[in-house]
Amino acid sequence: MPEQALPDYALRNRAKWTVSNARYTAGRARESWAKDVHWGVWHVPEADVQALPDVSGLDVIELGCGTAYFGAWLKRRGARRVVGVDITPAQLATAREMNLEFGLGLEFIEANAENVPLPAASFDLAFSEYGASIWCDPYLWIAEAARLLRRGGQLMFLRGSTLQVLCSPDVGNVGTALVRPQKGMRRFDWTDDEDGPSTDFHISGSEMFQLLLKTGFDVVDFREIFAPEAAVDHPYYSYLPAEWAKRWPGEEIWRARKR
Amino acid sequence: MPEKKKKKATTLPGYVVRNRASWTVSNAEYTAGSAHDSWAAKRITWGVWKVPEDEIKVLPDVRGLDVIELGCGTAYFGAWLKKRGARRVVGVDITPAQLATAREMNTEFGLELEFIEANAEAVPLPSASFDLAFSEYGASIWCDPYLWIPEAARLLRPGGELLFMRNSTLEILCSPDDAVVGEKLIRPQKGMHHNTWQDEEGGGKSTVFHISGSEQFKLLRDTGFEVTDFREIFAPVNAVDHPYYKWTPVEWARKWPNEEIWRARKR
């Protein structure tokens, strides 16, 4: 995809994820690929959450795949085809290395998940765990996911909770004060990250619900994820204290079906 | 009617008795006096900020529908739905004072609503007899969701709809026991289900139920509903503090949603 087609936030996020890849995700990828399905920063096992549909035989696209550990898990669970899409070459390089090592036969495309160079109606499941679900503009990537899915196909994604975003100061960890209005929330430009400036997106629960309805989806599941009682602060994603996330949900999972 | 006899013998849960006492006071202080204006209103409006239905467009077409309002209070919302063409509107409430106001208005406006004094968690009406079950700050907050939602499911015909407004989860998380809603999380969301509040002036206590969005979603799915709409309501820019329901400052509700509307369809 031509450089000039990428929006400012995609370029910024690519630079940040290039650094994060070198500092953390490349080193973690092998261990992640080897595991079974779990969710979010607290690694809550899918066995406890039971949010995934049966993926046997499905064509899956992971939007903002990073090192593609989640796509690897879905392939191992029986997905027919898994395509990972990401804009950061360093992340895709790690993903490709793991793919060779584990021999899972995933496919990768360097592209912005808001504009994927693949034909319409070619997937049964569009998926994102902290990928397009937070790094892309929901008004673009959700519509793009709808385009990529076959009728009856499912969209599933994990993102930070609205509450977490409301309680995230510009500098420092998530706290108990509401530091941002929910009214009009959409784009957030962050500078307090050692890996460099980044931009993420979050619209409220009701706006997400309306967006899904308008893009042709029925909402079939909504989960809020707490840190398990035994959880400790994440070594790398430390902005979300475990003690906070035991009381309030730091993450949420949405599942929707294309009409 | 043996069924009625059985219901009478059942004692009401403690929170119902408490909430009835609280609403008897609120009826005398506020709702009896405001009922006439509410029934007469030309526009349907939602919640403490009176957000107009013609702006948010969340109601289904109610023409010809059999409607039950669960926790109807003075039944102004049921009256609006009857005026919009509902075939039958039944209001259910546990507070005789509220129902007395509702009946008085019903006679005055000639809308022919029906009223039943009952707990919305156990309504003495046959299953599958309504097309729309409705609550605006009624059963939606004063009854146990794990009881009233299955009861609504029982009362609805297949394809029937459930529509209710309640406080937002965020408002509950930011509600202290003894002051108005603030800008700090002071209650855990984990395990939230109900809370008993000290009433402002009446001196009594009332019990309000609230489960989180994901638990509400799961409960609806588990009781046979598809969730078809979800809205969060802010105070409009020109809103002012409510004269009676003062616990949510208007400034707070301009930044954060203090109310939410759920709509679900029975499979």
- Return the domain boundaries, chain A: 3-160+204-258
Q: Is the per-residue pLDDT at B62 higher than 50?
A: yes
Report the gap between the CA of A7 and the closest CA in chain B (Å): 29
How many Cβ atoms sit within 10 Å of the Cβ of residue A254?
A: 23
Contacts of A249 in chain B (CB under 8 A): 189, 212, 214
Contacts of A224 in chain B (CB under 8 A): 189, 212-214
**pLDDT at residue A58, rounded to an integer:** 98
DSSP A27-84: HHHHHHHHS--EETTTTEEHHHH--PPP-TT-EEEEET-TT-HHHHHHHHTT-SEEEE
Contacts of A248 in chain B (CB under 8 A): 173, 185, 188-190
Q: What average pLDDT does range B8-20 have in this prediction?
A: 84
Cβ contact (<8 Å) for B217 and A226?
no
Return the structure tokens found at A78.
Answer: 């029986």
CATH fourth-level superfamily of A3-160+204-258: Vaccinia Virus protein VP39 (3.40.50.150)
Q: B2-166+212-246+260-266: what CATH class?
A: alpha beta
**pLDDT at residue B104, rounded to an integer:** 98
- At residue B201 the predicted structure's pLDDT band, cuts being 50, 70 and 90, is low
**pLDDT at residue B116, rounded to an integer:** 98
Cβ contact (<8 Å) for B229 and A213?
yes
- Establish, for the pair of chains A and B, how many residue pairs have beta carbons separated by less than 8 Å: 81
Q: Is the per-residue pLDDT at B202 higher than 90?
A: no
Q: Is the per-residue pLDDT at B4 higher than 70?
A: no
B255 touches chain A (CB under 8 A): yes
**pLDDT at residue B7, rounded to an integer:** 47
Q: Which of B212, B221, B226 sits opposite A224 (nearest CB)?
A: B212
Q: Using only C-alpha atoms, what is the Rg of chain B? A: 17
Residue with the larger pLDDT of the pair A95 and B4:
A95
B267 touches chain A (CB under 8 A): no
Residue with the larger pLDDT of the pair B6 and A219:
A219
Q: What average pLDDT does range A248-252 have in this prediction?
A: 98
- Render pLDDT for B106-152 as a digit per residue (tens, 0 to 9): 999 999 999 999 999 999 999 999 999 999 999 999 999 999 999 99
Report the gap between the CA of B83 and the closest CA in chain A (Å): 28
Q: Is the per-residue pLDDT at A184 higher than 90?
A: yes
Rounded to whole angstroms, how far apart are CA atoms B251 and B236? 10
**In chain B, whose CA is at the least distance from the CA of A51?**
B218
User: The complex's ipTM?
Assistant: 0.95
- At residue B1 the predicted structure's pLDDT band, cuts being 50, 70 and 90, is very low
**pLDDT at residue B156, rounded to an integer:** 98
Pairing of strands A107-110, A81-86: parallel
- Render pLDDT for B161-187 as a digit per residue (tens, 0 to 9): 999 999 999 999 999 988 899 999 999
Task: Write out the E strands in chain B.
Answer: 45-46, 51-52, 66-70, 88-93, 114-117, 130-136, 156-167, 194-198, 205-209, 225-233, 259-266
Q: Is the per-residue pLDDT at A2 higher than 90?
A: no
- At residue B211 the predicted structure's pLDDT band, cuts being 50, 70 and 90, is very high
- At residue A152 the predicted structure's pLDDT band, cuts being 50, 70 and 90, is very high
Kindly report the average pLDDT of chain B as a whole number: 94
- At residue B30 the predicted structure's pLDDT band, cuts being 50, 70 and 90, is very high
Report residue B218: phi and psi, to 5°: -65, -45
In which residue are the tokens 């290395």 written? A97
Cβ contact (<8 Å) for B232 and A206?
yes
Q: What average pLDDT does range A70-86 have in this prediction?
A: 98
DSSP chain A: --GGGS-HHHHHHHHHHHHHIIIIIHHHHHHHHHS--EETTTTEEHHHH--PPP-TT-EEEEET-TT-HHHHHHHHTT-SEEEEEES-HHHHHHHHHHHHHHT---EEEE--TTS-SS-SS-EEEEEEESSHHHHS-HHHHHHHHHHHEEEEEEEEEEEE-HHHHHT--SSS---SB--S-STT--EEEE---TT--EEEE---HHHHHHHHHHTTEEEEEEEEEPPPTT----SS-TTS-HHHHHHS--EEEEEEEE-
**pLDDT at residue B199, rounded to an integer:** 73
Cβ atoms of A74 and A60 within 8 Å: the answer is yes
Q: Is the per-residue pLDDT at A200 higher than 50?
A: yes
Q: What average pLDDT does range B52-77 have in this prediction?
A: 98
**pLDDT at residue B203, rounded to an integer:** 64
Strand partners, A158: A129, A253
Return the structure tokens found at A84.
Answer: 């990972």
Contacts of A254 in chain B (CB under 8 A): none
Kindly report the average pLDDT of chain A as a whole number: 96
Residue with the larger pLDDT of the pair B209 and A236:
B209
Q: Which of B185, B227, B234 sits opposite A219 (nearest CB)?
A: B227
**pLDDT at residue A41, rounded to an integer:** 95
Q: Which of B183, B184, B254 sits opposite A183 (nearest CB)?
A: B254
Q: Is the per-residue pLDDT at B237 higher than 50?
A: yes
**pLDDT at residue A174, rounded to an integer:** 97
**pLDDT at residue B6, rounded to an integer:** 46
- At residue B198 the predicted structure's pLDDT band, cuts being 50, 70 and 90, is confident
Percent of chain B, pLDDT > 90? 89
Rounded to whole angstroms, how far apart are CA atoms B65 and B265? 14
